[in-house]
Chain A
Amino acid sequence: MRFSNLRPINPETAPGVSYKEEETPEAAFERFVSERYSRLVGAVSLIVRERHTAEDIVQETFARAYLNWSKLWPEGNPAGWAHRVAVNLALSWRRRATREARALLRLASTNAQSFSIPDVDLHRAVAGLPPRQKAAIAFFYILDLPVEEVAAAMGCRPGTVKSLLHSARGRLRKEMEAP
């Protein structure tokens, strides 16, 4: 793959990739992966509830980003693009997972193949949320994205994201207050 645009990143036009003067595209991509990988896997794992699937989805996301890197860097928004691809892949995986696989995941809610959120009650509560609420929660809290970016990643309006977050919070409060 040839990278022909070897010029410094303009921090005003390249959100999602931290500025490094005169960085090559390959180095920028490596740094992009290194900076984003772990938390993106954490966010996706909240949706798919299985570690290896989450890693596979994130690696697929970064592979697609690599194919499009000349369009995404330095003047695109690689982080926003990656978030959108990752959430679509995760929700698509959820839709395609068989009933049996979902039942197995529910039974193995604390198995070694998933990441455990330290707060057990929070872990259990998040696990019970519908997929789109989980996606909104994952990207808003774990990736610390503003509502507008979560909406862009999920392909919906900011108002919808706010509604999803509000519903998830209400549901969690109700569960925590339950005897």
Chain B
Amino acid sequence: MKKSRAPKLGIGLLVLGYAFALYWVFTRSTPVVSSRPITIRIAHWQIEKGPPDGIDAIIKRYEELNPRVKVEQVLVPESVYRQWVRSNLTGGTGSDLIEYGVWLDGLTDIPARYFEPITDEMMRPNPYNRGTKLEHVAWVNTFTDGLALQRLNAPDPGQFYAVTLTELSERLFCNRDLLRTITGSDRTPHTFAELRVLFRQVAAYAARTGRPVHAMAGARDNASWLMQFLLQGAMMESSQRNDRYGVLAVYAWDELGLYLDGRWSYRSPEARAGLTLMREVSLSMKPGFVQSTRDAATQEFLRGDAVFIFAGTWDGTSIRSQATFPIDVLRFPQPTKDDPVMGPYFYGRFADGGGGTAMEFYLNKQSPHPKEAIDFMHFMTSVEGNQLFTDHSGWLPSVREVRVPPSIAAYLTPLDCYTFGAEYMTLGSSVNSAVLRNFYLLAGSQGSVDQFVDAMEAEMPEAVRTDLRKEVSNRAIIVRPQDVAIMAKAALSRRAPQDASLLLARERLESSQTQSEALMLQMGRQLERAGPAK
């Protein structure tokens, strides 16, 4: 009797389980078919604590206002983001809105190939700002920085491509308890000279107590951000001198050309000064930090093994929500005019983050719902939408008139510093790769400025040429199809003369094409004059 009951029991359980699964799928899980006719997707790599919640809050409110549209947030780990973006865009399966950054290695052709300019929309007010102070302000001017950084990096200088969600800066996060334990005070350093004193105090404390604590949490990412910051500051006078166009900025393509003209190099005394400061800081990090990523530095700081961590405010929410100790947020203490290393090249306070906005979202040319995608871009960068982002992410807003919560007021960068935009590391993917590859030569007890400089100067001639050629070819990707677009707009405008927007679009395209083409020819000339790398 017992033998015949067991199979029946098993079958019964199987049937029960199947029935339960059916019930769950059809009543509790996400619908297989959305009840909303349009779905748009927004993809990004900012899966650290903060932004996903911010975007979720935007989506929730947007869907309330737009019942026809469903918005899906696609979170892609940073480690695979580049491959994910390229393979999806090539395969025609990319999200409607895609986060992109010019520093993403190996993707410099992506904007030109796959992203649609939104210049016309940028010249008009954001409809979601109705009833606010920004109601009649052109969309571009509603951003706290006027989209300055995005403009610097736009593939086509006459066009706008992206909206931004946040203002970024870089800050020193300080473990107040640990600082007090080591120094007897919670006074944070105000100058680089005071920071040097602190480095010595921490080293002495570690030696005395045997506790493995360092002044700065170390990882390749954090160290490279800091190096970029220090180099920019050290090279400020050089950047000003090399600003031949007089635009108070130096674009990456121009910096590459200036290198070929011999107007700067890592051998210059000011570059060496910046690298020397970086080496000083690297000696206050744990040995072997170059092998670690930023998560390791964050963990080191949260464990209480480092007094400071230099991080972008993009890590602020993660760090502050997980810390078990009070954290002070301060601007990195800069060298002064009498600094023994940087004093001779001191130009003035330089931007720690530049006050520029970031977390750039671009419109995929292949989006099946461009109108809805742009509408979502409008909402997320409206006063209401961006306020939701800030309140739920703990990140700064990118839009004016959005209230900044007191808890993150320290992230704001006042307009009290030089921002030249001149990057001496992320000029292009080849130069950036060379810097990161050789970084270990600068850092740690075995490293030196000379070793790093020698290695870089050996690689730079070829790396710069490669990156400048990429700049030319990226612009060609944009410029070539513009001939077709211009003809099409001209033909359509003739057939519909009452539609003034077609004529305006053609005129603007002709103008921006001429600008890009001229740039291509200039860069081509530069490459030709420089000849092959020796």
Partners in one complex: no
